[in-house]
Amino acid sequence: MIQAGLSGAGIRAIMAQAHLLVGAFPQFRFRTRPVENPSGYIVDTMRVVLQAIDLCDSYETALIDVVNRGGDADTTGAIAGMIMGALHGEQALPTRWLRELDAAAYRRCTEQADALIERAPAWAHSG
């Protein structure tokens, strides 16, 4: 899903990957009733993440959705943030959120993200 987002393939490609996951492992079905208060169990976590990505149209709404469901919110927020960030890019990060970050923490995050992209396979840079 991250690769599909970084490659510029779009939300349809990300959701195609989600459906491949469900096809291989039906317990990950996410088009069911909303999962509330998810545990740290990977099935619960990914169902919440995939529900948010499927239903929300922006980085911000997806992150707010998964975090507000409670439970293991730091994990669901991190995974949804990675996928939606790969899809929408840095420009999707709400400015008001970025203003609240410590400058040194923001710089470290940026450096780490740049390093990850530099190490990505060549096909991930095309698009």
Can you give the pLDDT at residue 122?
58
Can you give the pLDDT at residue 54?
96
How would you label 88-103 residue by residue, b for 16+ Cβ within 10 Å and e otherwise? beeeebeeeeeeeeee
pLDDT (average), residues 74-88: 95
Tell me the DSSP string of 67-115: HHT-SSHHHHHHHHHHHHHHHH-GGGS-HHHHHTS-HHHHHHHHHHHHH
Query: What CATH number does the domain containing 11 carry?
Result: 1.10.4080.10
pLDDT (average), residues 54-71: 96
Residue 127 clears pLDDT 50, i.e. is over it: no
Can you give the pLDDT at residue 90?
87
Q: What is the average pLDDT value for the chain, to the nearest integer? A: 91
Percent of the chain with pLDDT over 70: 93
The domain in which residue 11 lies consists of 2-125
Domain count, the chain: 1
